[in-house]
Chain A
Amino acid sequence: MKPPAFDYIAADSIAMAVAALAAAGDDAKIIAGGQSLVPMLNFRMLRPSILVDINRIAGLDVIEETSGAIRIGALTRHYQLETSPLISRHLPVLSCAMTHVAHLAIRNRGTIGGSLAHADPAAELPMMALLLDAELRVASGSGERTVTARDFFLGALTVDLASSEIITGIVLPKLPPRTGWGFEEVARRHGDFALTAVAATLTVSGGAIEQARIALTGVGATPLRAAEAESLLVGHALERDLVSRAIDAVRATIEPETDLHASSDYRRHLAGVLTGRALAAAWRRANESAA
């Protein structure tokens, strides 16, 4: 179908965008890459009175390095993130995850701010924000605020973002030294939304795990961190028995939905298998970098 009628404004600054949002009340939508929004318009699942286009705001698509972190502007395209040398040096797990986000033509247009604001329960970027302890920067007419990824995702397609607010960027702490990573996804076809995906980082010290992070997508309304599995890994070397217990902990904490593409049981099965693979890859890389 075709989108319903709406008015359109191309903002050239954050200030202009938030002013337009405030003036429209609850009835405006931001359009960035449009890769999730335009299908919803075409299906008429959304009928905004006005679209505020942020594509022409200069400087909103910058990836920059600070001493301990990487700051990524909200308008950064998925393909930019996938191919960024800064990201591959400091957050290689994110470079890998981005190759699984949809298809080249979608990655060329889709933006990280859009993906986070849309919060599809099977998308990769929200899960990576959660894994990497991201902070989101949010602006509105009344100023700026910071929200952690842990607090941002509230439900399927539901986030802590008011209709007057806009995500301006995210800040991701660099991976610590002696850290390895793993990313594993199963989708029906390369580039489709994940049936289930698991990402992990392990930081090792003296042959034992010092910090473990495990995040999952596709197994709930929001991306999840596997806190129990993470804590039982700390202080130990990654041995087969420990992996089994981490897998059991992951499977026990999730309640995946059944849909057309996969049953709840299959998703739970995948979550375990992929956790094992992601941990093994993270352990191997961590020991390589510590050697």
Chain B
Amino acid sequence: MSKSCEINVTVNGTTHRAAVEPRLLLTDFLRHTLGMTGTHVGCEHGVCGACTVLIDGDSARACLMLAVQADGRNIETVESLGRIGQMNALQESFHEHHALQCGFCTPGMLMTTTDLLRKYPLATDDDIRKGLSGNLCRCTGYEHIVKAIRAVVGKGHERP
């Protein structure tokens, strides 16, 4: 067993201190160590996008990052977007446009879109489709997801 490392990671504004094994993936740190199960684990090799979180503001696959690499970083997960009964504009739009069925891919879709709309607030349909190309959904066929995002484009989408 390899030597564990001490890390300080800020997740959704709260700083957590923990000792982690180097091989611990950021996904498992979020879900198992912190109990924040909003970040989903699909493929575990960077293909499906379900585990997408923001690291210092940029979207990234949490399954392709070691928890130890998150030391000193600022992580945002889907739990930062809103609360039950108080969703943010993007979540509301997903709800309104039937942009989810089983919901497994939704956390990744929301976090990818959050990064996309911060970087490209006037994203076109083409930008949206290219932006979501790394996130797999097996239920919706994507049309409703694109519609949901289109509906918030240009409305100054920000987290609450």
CB–CB B28/A2 < 8 A: yes
Task: Report if A105-B65 is in contact (Cβ < 8 Å); known contacts: A5-B2, A39-B46, A43-B45.
Answer: no
The residue among A7, A43, A103 with the most chain B CB atoms within 10 A of its own CB is A103
Instruction: Kindly report which residue of chain B lies nearest to residue A190, judged by CB atoms.
Output: B133
Write the nearest CB–CB distance from B74 to chain A, whole angstroms: 14
CB–CB B64/A2 < 8 A: no
Residues of chain A contacted by B21 (CB below 8 angstroms):
5
Within 1-21 of A, Cβ neighbours of B (below 8 Å) are at 1-8, 10
Residues of chain B contacted by A104 (CB below 8 angstroms):
59, 112, 115-116, 119, 131, 134
Is B99 part of the contact surface with A, judged by Cβ < 8 Å? no
Instruction: Kindly report which residue of chain B lies nearest to residue A34, judged by CB atoms.
Output: B64
> What separation, in Å, do the CA atoms of A189 and B132 have in the docked complex?
11
Residues of chain A contacted by B46 (CB below 8 angstroms):
35, 38-39, 106
CB–CB A2/B25 < 8 A: yes
How many residues of chain B are within 8 Å of chain A by beta carbon? 36
> What separation, in Å, do the CA atoms of A251 and B21 have in the docked complex?
50
| Interface 1/0 per residue, A256-289 and B, CB below 8 Å | 0000000000000000000000000000000000
CB–CB B66/A38 < 8 A: yes
Write the nearest CB–CB distance from A34 to chain B, whole angstroms: 5
CB–CB B65/A3 < 8 A: no
Write the nearest CB–CB distance from A58 to chain B, whole angstroms: 14
CB–CB A6/B2 < 8 A: yes
Is B1 part of the contact surface with A, judged by Cβ < 8 Å? yes
Determine the interface band of chain A, counting residues with CB < 8 A from chain B.
20 to 34
Is A108 part of the contact surface with B, judged by Cβ < 8 Å? yes
Within 63-80 of B, Cβ neighbours of A (below 8 Å) are at 63-66, 68-69, 71
> What separation, in Å, do the CA atoms of A2 and B66 have in the docked complex?
11
CB–CB B64/A38 < 8 A: yes
Main secondary structure of the interface of A (DSSP, over half): loop
Residues of chain B contacted by A102 (CB below 8 angstroms):
134
Residues of chain B contacted by A2 (CB below 8 angstroms):
23, 25, 28, 44
Residues of chain A contacted by B71 (CB below 8 angstroms):
10
Instruction: Kindly report which residue of chain B lies nearest to residue A43, judged by CB atoms.
Output: B45
CB–CB B45/A103 < 8 A: no
CB–CB B68/A42 < 8 A: no
> What separation, in Å, do the CA atoms of A109 and B5 have in the docked complex?
22
Instruction: Kindly report which residue of chain B lies nearest to residue A102, judged by CB atoms.
Output: B134
Instruction: Kindly report which residue of chain B lies nearest to residue A37, judged by CB atoms.
Output: B64
Is B129 part of the contact surface with A, judged by Cβ < 8 Å? yes
Is A53 part of the contact surface with B, judged by Cβ < 8 Å? yes
Write the nearest CB–CB distance from B151 to chain A, whole angstroms: 20
Residues of B within 8 A of A (CB): 1-3, 5, 21-23, 25, 28, 44-46, 49, 52, 55, 58-61, 63-66, 68-69, 71, 112, 115-116, 119, 129-131, 133-135
Q: Which 5 A/B pairs are nearest by Cβ-Cβ distance?
A: A103-B134, A8-B22, A39-B45, A108-B58, A105-B59
